[in-house]
């Protein structure tokens, strides 16, 4: 099935996904396209996703965004990783940082050298050989030459959407205020023909982006694309979000605090802190979850706690005919590793690479869906890893997580690392060094290391490890504090 050349793109819904798509398409492709975004001020966005991963830095570079201006506008701070508290076991913490740990050789990753050093008694914790982790724990930050310090951001999602809206409208986007009452499907082709708004206005288009959130107004309610439920692997189905006033300098990392029935996030912005708790309603009531969250907050409440329901899983097709699901309409993975904005970004960049300039072709649709599914499944596996590989068995929730079956792709990765210390990256998947950081952080220590390590004498190995750690410690010592860097570089007027 093909259609004529795409000249008119309709973005259904705003929020982070809608405005990221609008800004990118109008700025990078928009000269010969008509781009319309439809949203209603009466429909609230979830907007809890205030933590990101380093890929957003490169997305902004594509759009030519000035970093300091963006951070001022979004009350942003820098993020070097995520601190996982009581995940491995009660009161045992580790930090998953964004950098590369140690130094690999051609035959074996750094973890093999570290393993032998640990056995010999002269290696520090694995994270001590990662510049980003040591910087984070010392609350230091600066831009280093050649992207020497990998980082992401903590941002206000609502302010981010406004910032992107300015870019999109500057490059010719038309925004229409209104609610979508009906999605009109062409009875012959099954394609979306137009959208009818609550004021009876009809908006037609060639390509439609569904940014309507979990409702999936176009992709699911109108096109019945289907949803693959992953809640048997990720049983959390609820969240409660609340904002508090900041009472201390913002940390350069997100905090993820495990509880008996789920986990709590703390995301520090310049002027406030985003907080929330993700939990399984089968293991705790809303009221008890809310009480746990409120008892573990710092600072005065700015907003009232609100409950958000979700189902973990993915749309069976992310591009169906002339409709592409972007953001929560394409599926939901809990924000444990801050991947939701990354998946939005990937969908947008993938669309631009496969853009149907001449016509919509099934070959492009199939490839888009294949790549999206691979990305989503590998991120899903990475999130499941945190629950499966744990020593916690203190509550039914954690007992369930430890004992559940997992996808074969994840089981093979865990077994390979457990028995050989090896991790292999497939098809440019998102996470690389992160697999080792989390597996070791969660308490999974490989049984053996690569024999090439034995080519080093004990003294050589010790000097090798000490040299890496010494360089990192020396660099971190010279960095300014995260708080001082923000004040000098991107302090917001309202912070």
- Sketch out the chain's domains with CATH numbers: 8-77+154-231+312-378 (3.50.50.60)
Distances in whole angstroms, Cα of residue 299 to Cα of each of 114, 246, 275: 40, 6, 11
For residue 404, give both structure tokens: 């559940």
Distant-in-sequence contacts of 397-400, Cβ < 8 A, 24+ apart:
397/235, 397/260, 397/261, 397/262, 397/280, 397/283, 397/284, 398/260, 400/235
Q: Rounded to an integer, what distance in angstroms lies between the CA atom of residue 123 and that of residue 458?
A: 11
What distance separates the 2 farthest-apart alpha carbons in the chain?
78
Q: What is the pLDDT of residue 42?
A: 80
Residues whose CB falls within 8 Å of the CB of residue 27, separated by 6 or more in sequence, listed in order = 63, 64, 167, 168, 171
Alpha-carbon torsion (404, 407, 410, 415), positive or negative = positive
Q: Rounded to an integer, what distance in angstroms lies between the CA atom of residue 254 and that of residue 96?
A: 10
Give me the residues of the chain with pLDDT under 50, please: 1
Q: What is the pLDDT of residue 94?
A: 97
pTM value > 0.85? yes
140 three-class SS: strand
| Sole residue written with tokens 């870019």 | 167
Q: What is the pLDDT of residue 429?
A: 73
Q: What is the pLDDT of residue 37?
A: 98
**Residues 39 and 13: beta-carbon distance below 8 Å:** yes
Give per-residue burial for 69-79: e unless 16+ CB within 10 Å, then b.
ebbbbbbbbbb
Pairing of strands 174-177, 34-39: parallel
Q: What is the pLDDT of residue 44?
A: 65
Q: What is the pLDDT of residue 1?
A: 47
Q: What is the pLDDT of residue 358?
A: 86
Could you tell me how far CA 212 lies from the centroid of its own chain? Answer: 19
Specify the DSSP element, H or E, that contains 460: helix 458-478
């Amino acid at each position: 099935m093909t259609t004529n050349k795409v000249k008119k793109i309709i973005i259904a819904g705003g929020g982070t996904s809608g405005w990221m798509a609008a800004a990118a398409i109008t700025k990078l492709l928009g000269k010969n396209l008509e781009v319309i975004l439809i949203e209603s001020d009466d429909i609230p966005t979830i907007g809890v996703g205030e933590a990101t991963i380093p890929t957003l830095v490169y997305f902004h570079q594509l759009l030519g965004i000035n970093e300091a201006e963006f951070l001022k506008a979004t009350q942003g701070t820098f993020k070097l990783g995520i601190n996982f508290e009581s995940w491995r076991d009660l009161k045992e913490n580790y930090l998953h940082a964004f950098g590369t740990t140690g130094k690999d050789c051609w035959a074996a990753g750094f973890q093999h050298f570290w393993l032998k050093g640990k056995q010999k008694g002269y290696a520090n914790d694995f994270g001590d050989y990662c510049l980003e982790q040591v910087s984070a724990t010392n609350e230091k930050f600066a831009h280093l030459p050649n992207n020497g310090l990998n980082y992401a951001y903590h941002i206000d999602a609502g302010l981010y959407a406004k910032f992107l809206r300015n870019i999109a409208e500057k490059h010719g986007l038309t925004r229409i205020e209104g609610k979508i009452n009906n999605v009109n499907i062409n009875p012959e082709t099954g394609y979306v023909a137009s959208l009818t708004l609550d004021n009876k206005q009809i908006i037609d288009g060639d390509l439609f982006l569904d940014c309507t959130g979990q409702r999936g107004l176009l992709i699911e309610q109108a096109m019945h694309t289907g949803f693959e439920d992953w809640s048997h692997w990720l049983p959390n189905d609820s969240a409660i979000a609340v904002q508090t006033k900041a009472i201390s300098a913002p940390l350069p990392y997100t905090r993820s605090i495990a509880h008996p029935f789920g986990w709590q996030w703390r995301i520090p912005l310049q002027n406030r802190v985003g907080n929330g708790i993700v939990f399984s309603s089968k293991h705790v009531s809303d009221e008890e979850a809310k009480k746990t969250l409120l008892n573990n907050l710092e600072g005065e409440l700015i907003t009232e706690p609100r409950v958000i329901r979700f189902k973990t899983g993915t749309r069976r097709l992310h591009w169906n005919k002339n409709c592409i699901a972007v953001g929560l309409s394409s599926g939901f993975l809990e924000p444990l590793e801050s991947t939701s904005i990354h998946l939005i970004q990937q969908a947008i960049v993938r669309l631009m690479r496969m853009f149907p300039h001449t016509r919509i072709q099934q070959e492009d649709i199939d490839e888009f869906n294949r790549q999206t599914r691979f990305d989503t499944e590998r991120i899903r596996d990475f999130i499941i890893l945190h629950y499966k590989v744990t020593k916690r068995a203190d509550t039914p929730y954690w007992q369930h997580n430890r004992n559940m079956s997992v996808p074969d792709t994840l089981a093979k990765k865990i077994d390979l690392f457990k028995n050989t210390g090896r991790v292999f990256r497939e098809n440019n998947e998102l996470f690389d060094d992160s697999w080792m950081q989390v597996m070791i952080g969660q308490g999974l220590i490989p049984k053996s290391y690569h024999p090439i390590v034995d080519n080093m004498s004990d003294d050589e190995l010790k000097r090798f490890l000490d040299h890496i750690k010494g360089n990192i410690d020396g660099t971190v010592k010279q960095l300014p504090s995260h708080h001082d860097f923000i004040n000098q570089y991107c302090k917001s007027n309202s912070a």
